[in-house]
Amino acid sequence: MTSALSITRAANPPRAAYLDFPLGHTAGKPHQRELNRSIVGDGLRAFETLRAPGDVVMLPYEWADDDAWKDTVMRPRASASLERDSAGRSSQQRDDRVERHAVPQYQTDADRTAADAALAAGGCATCVWLDGRPNETT
Amino acid sequence: MPSTRPPVDYIERTRAQYDALGYPPYQWVHSATPPPWAELTKPLAECRVGLIGSGGIYQVGQVAFHYKDDFSFRIVDTRAPTSQLRATHFAYDLTDARSDPNVVFPVDTLNDLVAEGFIGELAERAYAFMGGIYSSRKVRDTLAPALAERVIRDEVDVVLLVPV
């Protein structure tokens, strides 16, 4: 499955199914079980129908009634009255992704507590680190 | 109005964004060699299906991903309720994935497809990682082979890859 066609074509997997949805929805829409079953089913069918390495099937689903969302995704924000720094960057154009700390980023504090309890009880048997740490404590 | 506009070109938009931020260009992976090919040898309705997703999914009780080239992965029990799944990632809007993880990690969706006989079964273990890894070398040489070894061990017939 992919929602980023140019990136997938560059990486060139054996088979792909393209879904024209905003990033973060590669397998469908929240709480739309029937729609998602249809999308993922169509994606899986590519295993049977695609015949040539690198083929991509274009799935026929649309995110919204119009394509307005495509105008705004990953666009540097612009404004009529921009203050620019010496490098010509505007104050409106900034990296809005979160800062990247090398500590676990939990969705909730309760998740952190649960993980800490598991670690204290012997480790996370289903976390595979690949960085030299022992992988599974079982 | 049906969709008339071409797919969003994220390579082009990333180039424009990095340029606007004054960053050097992002180096996308371009695979020069044609991809390998394996024929499906049985109908989907008889296949055991594996799932690997890069949306930063973890299960309650597991350690979450961090955002600095974390190339670890989590083994997710596909029999466990998906209300126990969480999402963490620095580079996409998590709102919908946190409301319903199936949008990036379709465990319920695949179980529905098993229930109706569209696929044979869903492997007991699925695999999740956080795709914001800036080292393509670590992905190619360490993470991808480790995941491939896992799904081979699980004896799946096909693997659904769900990147974000």
A138 pLDDT higher than 50: no
Beta bridge partner(s), residue B121: B48
- Distance CA(B22)–CA(B20), nearest Å, equals 5
Of A44, A76, A108, the CB nearest to B17: A76
Radius of gyration of chain B (CA): 17
Residue B12 belongs to a domain: no
User: pLDDT per residue over A38-78, tens digit each?
Assistant: 999 999 999 999 999 999 999 999 999 999 999 988 876 54
Q: B residues 13-72 near A, CB within 8 Å?
A: 13-14, 16-17, 20-22, 28-31, 34-38, 40, 43-44, 47, 49, 55, 58-68, 70-72
Look up residue B156 and give its amino acid: V
Cβ–Cβ below 8 Å for A66 and B1? yes
Q: What does the DSSP assignment read for chain B?
A: ----SPPP-HHHHHHHHHHHHTPPPP------SPPP-----S-GGG-EEEEEE-B-EEEBTBPPP-SSS---EEEEETTS-GGGEEE--SSS--HHHHH-GGGTS-HHHHHHHHHTTSSSEE-SEEEE-B-----HHHIIIIIHHHHHHHHHHTT-SEEEEE--
Confidence of residue B74 (pLDDT cuts 50, 70, 90): very high
Q: Are B35 and A12 in contact (CB under 8 A)?
A: yes
Domain ranges, residue B60: 44-162
Confidence of residue A81 (pLDDT cuts 50, 70, 90): very low
B126 pLDDT higher than 90: yes
Residue B26 belongs to a domain: no
Residue A136: what pLDDT?
Answer: 52
Mean pLDDT computed over B117-141: 96
Mean pLDDT computed over B3-32: 90
Residue B27: what pLDDT?
Answer: 87
Contacts of A4 in chain B (CB under 8 A): 7-8, 10, 163
What share of chain B has pLDDT > 90, as a percent?
Answer: 91
Q: Does A49 touch chain B (CB under 8 A)?
A: no
Burial of residue B69, with CB atoms counted within 10 A of its CB: 0-12 exposed, 13-18 middle, 19 or more buried:
middle
Q: Are A1 and A40 in contact (CB under 8 A)?
A: yes
Cβ–Cβ below 8 Å for A53 and B143? no
Mean pLDDT computed over B58-81: 97
Specify the DSSP class assigned to residue A68. Answer: T
Q: Does A103 touch chain B (CB under 8 A)?
A: yes
pTM passes above 0.95: no
Residue B18 belongs to a domain: no
A32 pLDDT higher than 70: yes
Residue B34: what pLDDT?
Answer: 87
Count of structural domains, chain B: 1
Q: How many CB atoms lie within 10 A of CB B120?
A: 16
Q: Does B126 touch chain A (CB under 8 A)?
A: no
Residue B29 belongs to a domain: no
Mean pLDDT computed over B88-103: 97
Q: Does A5 touch chain B (CB under 8 A)?
A: yes
Residue B4 belongs to a domain: no
Distance from CA of A24 to the nearest CA of B (A): 6
Q: Does B143 touch chain A (CB under 8 A)?
A: yes
> What is the predicted ipTM?
0.96
Q: H-type helices in chain A, by residue range?
A: 5-11, 33-49, 69-72, 109-120
Radius of gyration of chain A (CA): 21
Residue B86 belongs to a domain: yes
| A33-49 and B107-115 helices, crossing angle to 10° | 70
Average pLDDT, chain B: 95
Give CA separation, A124 vs A118, A129, B71, in Å: 6, 10, 16
B17 pLDDT higher than 70: yes
Mean pLDDT computed over B134-154: 96
Distance from CA of A81 to the nearest CA of B (A): 16
Q: Which residue has the tokens 């799935």?
A: A59
Average pLDDT, chain A: 86
What share of chain A has pLDDT > 70, as a percent?
Answer: 80
Residue B101 belongs to a domain: yes
Residue B103 belongs to a domain: yes
What share of chain B has pLDDT > 70, as a percent?
Answer: 98
In angstroms, how far is CA A115 from the centroid of its own chain?
24
Contacts of A103 in chain B (CB under 8 A): 66
